[in-house]
């Protein structure tokens, strides 16, 4: 499994980095920590590039490196990386790659591989490029900032998207798994099983009675899903919610929930202009949300 963790400002990225690395360690996955620098106007992009090269030559940190250094120190402080004499950040090697991508390769302790990379440009375009080029399975991003970014990520990025909103290291989380009969929901169930197993989390499976005529089908789905979890020796419970799907799930979710949802099967054009239930849930709820694809 390959995980991409997108970080921004130092103070807001701690929870994202922490949760991201925990997931990476549980799944023993290779991890890329990406900092996407601000887009530079085409008028000045070459001038900025010349200045940054100059800063490198003078051993003055180029912008973005400070954030990556902070991320590196954070990984060391949390023992995700063991610092040795040979892998100090002072001796970092910046590898200038194509398409505005720069890489700092580091030795690490627990995961198969941790890459620190820096990109410059429009964030969605850069993360999409990163996911496509390196075939990441999950993109993890903080919940702050512009909500439109999350919508576009969910819509356009070819990986599962984990929006880390209001995450606290000290809290004991449980998985909230809304299900229906869509293909996306099946994928979400598989992911929830993996997560629950790795973290030993309890799972609450919920379904919403959207119209009162079709209760039987929903009840069967809930039971079938619960059995899947029980077979994997995961503690799972079920609950029926009523009302509109989005509001019912948002109201039911607590601060200690991690919501795992499947991507909407809706037509992409409809999703772009009118949104979708998973996007609305990710927008409205105040806890981490993972949308699987």
Partner 1 sequence: MNESYKIISSSILFWFSQKKWFVYSILVSIFLLNLSTPIGLSVPAYHSLIILVLVFMLVTFEPIPFPAIALLTLVLQVVLEVAPPDQVASSFMNDAVLFVMGSLMFAIAIVHQGLDIRLARSIVFIFGKSKRMFLAGLMSISAILSSFLGEHTVIAIMLPIGLSVIKNIDTQQTDGKNAVLITLFSIAYGTIIGSIGTPSGGARNVIMINYLQEFSNVHIDYWKWMKHAYPILIIQLIVAYFVLQFAFPSSLKNIKMRGYKKNVENRSVKKDINHLFSCLIIIAIIASWFTFNDIYGLGIIALGGALTFMIFGMITWEEINKNTNWGVILLFAATISLGFQINETGASSWLVIKFNELLNSLPSNSMNVSWSIMAILSGLTANFFTSSATVSLIGPMAIELHPTDISFALSSAIASGFSFLTVISSPTAMIIYSTGLVSTKVFFRVGILMFIISILILYLMSQFYWVTL
Please report how close the Cβ of residue 77 comes to partner 1 at its closest, in angstroms. 18
Contact region with partner 1 (CB under 8 A), list: 49-57, 80-88, 100-108, 198-206: 49-57
Least CB distance from residue 222 to partner 1, whole Å? 26
CB of 62 or CB of 197, closer to partner 1: 62
Of residues 41 and 211, the one with the C-beta less far from partner 1: 41
143-202 positions binding partner 1, by CB under 8 A: 152, 155-156
Short-list 34, 13, 5, CA closest to 102 = 34
Residues 133-164, buried b or exposed e (16+ Cβ, 10 A)?
ebebbbbbbbbbeeeebbbbbbbebebbbbbb
- Among candidate residues 280, 240, 251, 249, the one with its CA nearest the CA of residue 263: 280
Q: Is position 101 an interface residue for partner 1 (rule: CB under 8 A)? A: no
What whole-number distance in Å separates Cα of residue 263 and Cα of residue 183?
9
Query: Binding partner 1 by CB under 8 A: which of 1, 40, 149, 201?
Result: 40
**Minimal distance, residue 68 CB to partner 1, in Å:** 12
CB 39 within 8 A of CB 50: no
**Closest to partner 1 by CB, 209 or 272:** 272
Contact pick of 1, 94, 124, 241 for partner 1 (by CB under 8 A): 124
We find the least distance from the C-beta atom of residue 47 to partner 1, in angstroms, to be: 4
Strand order from edge to edge, sheet including 101-106: 94-96, 101-106, 114-120, 30-37, 2-7, 138-142, 160-164, 289-292, 257-262, 174-178, 203-209, 236-242
Instruction: Write the binding mask 60 to 99 for partner 1: x where contact by CB under 8 A, - elsewhere.
Output: xx-xx-xx--------------------------------
Number of residues that bind partner 1 (CB under 8 A): 37
* Residue choice 15, 20, 37, 288 for contact with partner 1 (CB under 8 A): 37
- Looking at beta carbons only, is 152 or 252 nearer to partner 1? 152
51: contact with partner 1 by CB under 8 A: yes
Tell me the window of 15-23, 43-51, 174-182, 281-289 that interacts with partner 1 (CB under 8 A): 43-51
Q: Which residues bind partner 1 (CB under 8 A)?
A: 37-38, 40-52, 54-55, 57-58, 60-61, 63-64, 66-67, 122, 124-125, 128, 152, 155-156, 265, 267-269, 272
């Amino acid at each position: 499994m390959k995980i991409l963790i997108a970080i921004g400002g130092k103070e807001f990225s701690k929870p994202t980095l922490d949760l991201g690395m925990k997931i990476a360690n549980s799944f023993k996955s290779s991890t890329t920590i990406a900092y996407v620098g601000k887009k530079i106007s085409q008028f000045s992009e070459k001038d900025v590039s010349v200045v940054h090269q100059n800063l490198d030559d003078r051993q003055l940190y180029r912008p973005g490196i400070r954030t990556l250094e902070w991320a590196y120190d954070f990984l060391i402080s949390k023992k995700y990386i063991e610092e040795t004499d040979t892998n100090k950040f002072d001796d970092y090697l910046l590898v200038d790659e194509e398409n505005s991508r720069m890489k700092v390769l580091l030795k690490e302790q627990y995961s198969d591989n941790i890459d620190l990379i820096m990109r410059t440009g429009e964030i969605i375009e850069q993360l999409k490029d990163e996911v496509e080029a390196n075939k990441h399975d999950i993109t993890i991003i903080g919940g702050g900032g512009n909500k439109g970014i999350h919508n576009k990520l969910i819509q356009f990025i070819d990986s599962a998207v984990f929006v880390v909103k209001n995450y606290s290291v000290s809290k004991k989380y449980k998985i909230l798994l809304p299900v229906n009969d869509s293909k996306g929901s099946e994928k979400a169930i598989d992911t929830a099983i993996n997560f629950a197993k790795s973290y030993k989390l309890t799972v609450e499976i919920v379904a919403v009675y959207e119209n009162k005529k079709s209760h039987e089908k929903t009840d069967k789905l809930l039971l079938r899903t619960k059995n899947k979890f029980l077979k994997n020796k995961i503690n799972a419970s079920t609950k029926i919610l009523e009302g509109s799907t989005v509001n019912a799930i948002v109201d039911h979710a607590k601060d200690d929930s991690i919501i795992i949802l499947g991507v909407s099967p809706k037509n992409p054009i409809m999703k772009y202009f009118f949104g979708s239930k998973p996007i609305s849930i990710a927008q409205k709820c105040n806890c981490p949300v993972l949308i699987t694809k």
